């Protein structure tokens, strides 16, 4: 079987969970099929399995357009590049809306069955309008069109599956649930401290870690608000880059600067850290905090748990499939409000609850270690990439058989 994977992100150009997902999924799928990756970027690997072909993202053609609309149009242009030569495969598998136009064209023009993995849903990310402007209407239309014409749709959690079923016309037999995975031989507790030294983190004082993009979705503003209520001895380490927009980047920059003046020992890493450094940061953190307001799955929680670090997270979406309340960490009620459920009804109450759970864990070393051990045991038992890839391959086989 030959599979063409279409994606915006692929190593080394990775900024979110979808890129991490594909790095490991493609490696495992290559044991069962011939895999070709078509992505945005300058990657090129013509030999081997998977092969990788990067295509440009950006063009002078759209210079006259507003920045926000221009970005969406450039996405469609890159997807056209995916189809410039005939797509010769048994299955095309798209990840995120950025690649879905490529899958639509491949299915229509070349008759290749289309599989889509949903890493997030546009209707549940209304803040994307800040990034894309009216391009958000375009991304939403592309996503809806692709999901409703796909031969199979993969949700990464039960919560994700319910949202897809409720919002789109996707028949139950075409909708599957296959969680994300993690390489537990790579993500494991380490004792090295070079990353802590590099970034000025005191190894003798506990710290809480936030790791994620500078986007409203990841709840970074709520983490900053919670940090104001942490005990003075707790260091705050914010590992956050890739802002959705210059405006939001400035908003968060000002909030962090204020926090630094208020409590000190606030360390903000504004670049994407390399994986060995991330593993060190996870391993030595007293607590990992994931205050996302929307999270179909949340690979970062798996990463922290694999490194035996307890998690304090918002009780939303796929996080509930990963973090076991009271065993591997604490889930904090989000209590959303509004038609799009994009903010907590009482932001201050949410921040207070996050801080209380973080303070509780930092104060109880025995509980932290117990939760950390149970977290790794859960990850090893349930989220290996080999099993994930076998389930995905079974979807491919079923789709191919129905041709």
pLDDT tens column, 326-360: 999 999 998 776 555 567 768 889 999 999 999 99
Dihedrals φ, ψ of 51, to 5°? Answer: -90, 155
Dihedrals φ, ψ of 392, to 5°? Answer: -65, -45
* Residue 9 sits in the same domain as residue 124: yes
| Token pair belonging to 13 | 């150009």
Do the domain assignments include residue 86? yes
* Residue 161 sits in the same domain as residue 299: no
* Residue 158 sits in the same domain as residue 254: no
* Residue 360 sits in the same domain as residue 221: yes
3-class SS at 312? strand
Q: Which domain holds residue 168?
A: 2-181+384-401
Contacts of 349 (CB under 8 A, 6+ apart): 335
At residue 62, the pLDDT reads 85
* Residue 31 sits in the same domain as residue 55: yes
* Residue 133 sits in the same domain as residue 215: no
* Residue 115 sits in the same domain as residue 248: no
Q: How many domains does the chain have?
A: 2
At residue 128, the pLDDT reads 85
| Token pair belonging to 296 | 């179909």
d(CA 317, CA 385): 21
Cα–Cα distances (Å) from 197 to 131, 266, 280, in that order, read 35, 15, 11
* Residue 161 sits in the same domain as residue 206: no
Residues in the chain, pLDDT under 50: none
Sign of the dihedral through C-alpha 379, 385, 387, 392 = positive
At residue 344, the pLDDT reads 75
At residue 310, the pLDDT reads 98
Q: pTM for the complete prediction?
A: 0.87
Omega cis (within 30) before 50: yes
* Residue 267 sits in the same domain as residue 394: no
At residue 373, the pLDDT reads 98
At residue 144, the pLDDT reads 98
d(CA 102, CA 83): 7
Q: Which CATH number belongs to the domain containing residue 119 in this structure?
A: 3.40.50.2000
At residue 345, the pLDDT reads 67
- DSSP state, residue 272: P
* Residue 228 sits in the same domain as residue 308: yes
d(CA 198, CA 340): 41
* Residue 393 sits in the same domain as residue 378: no
* Residue 177 sits in the same domain as residue 205: no
């Amino acid at each position: 079987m030959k599979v063409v994977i279409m994606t915006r992100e692929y190593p080394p150009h990775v900024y979110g969970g979808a890129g991490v997902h594909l790095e490991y999924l493609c490696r495992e799928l290559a044991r069962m099929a011939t895999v070709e990756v078509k992505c945005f970027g300058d990657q090129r690997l013509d030999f081997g399995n998977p092969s990788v072909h990067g295509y440009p993202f950006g063009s002078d053609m759209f210079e006259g357009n507003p920045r926000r609309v221009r970005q969406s149009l450039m996405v469609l242009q890159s997807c056209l590049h995916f189809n410039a030569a005939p797509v010769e495969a048994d299955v095309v598998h798209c990840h995120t809306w950025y690649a879905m136009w490529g899958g639509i064209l491949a299915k229509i023009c070349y008759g290749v069955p289309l599989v889509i993995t949903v890493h997030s849903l546009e209707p549940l990310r209304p803040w994307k309008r800040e990034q894309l402007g009216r391009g958000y209407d375009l991304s939403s239309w592309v996503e809806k069109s692709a999901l409703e014409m796909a031969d199979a749709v993969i949700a990464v959690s039960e919560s994700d599956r319910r949202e897809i079923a409720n919002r789109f016309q996707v028949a139950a037999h075409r909708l599957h649930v296959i969680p994300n995975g993690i390489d537990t031989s790579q993500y494991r507790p380490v004792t090295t401290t070079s990353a802590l030294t590099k970034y000025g983190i005191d190894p003798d004082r506990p710290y809480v870690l936030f790791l994620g993009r500078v986007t409203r979705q990841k709840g970074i503003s709520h983490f900053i608000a919670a940090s104001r209520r942490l005990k003075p001895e707790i260091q705050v380490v914010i590992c956050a880059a890739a802002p959705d927009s210059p405006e939001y980047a400035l908003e968060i920059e000002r909030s962090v600067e204020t926090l630094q003046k208020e409590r000190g020992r606030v360390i903000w890493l504004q670049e994407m850290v390399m994986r060995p450094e991330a593993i060190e940061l996870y391993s030595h953190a007293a607590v990992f905090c994931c205050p996302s307001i929307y999270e179909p799955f949340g690979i970062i929680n798996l990463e922290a748990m694999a490194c035996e670090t307890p998690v304090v997270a918002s009780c939303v979406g796929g996080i509930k499939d990963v973090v076991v309340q009271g065993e591997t960490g604490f889930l904090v009620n989000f209590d959303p409000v509004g038609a799009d459920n994009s903010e907590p009804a009482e932001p201050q109450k949410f921040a207070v609850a996050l801080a209380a759970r973080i303070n509780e864990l930092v104060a109880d070393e025995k509980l932290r270690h117990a939760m950390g051990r149970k977290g790794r045991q859960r990850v090893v038992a349930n989220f290996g990439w080999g099993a994930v890839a076998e389930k995905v391959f079974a979807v491919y086989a079923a789709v191919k058989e129905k041709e």
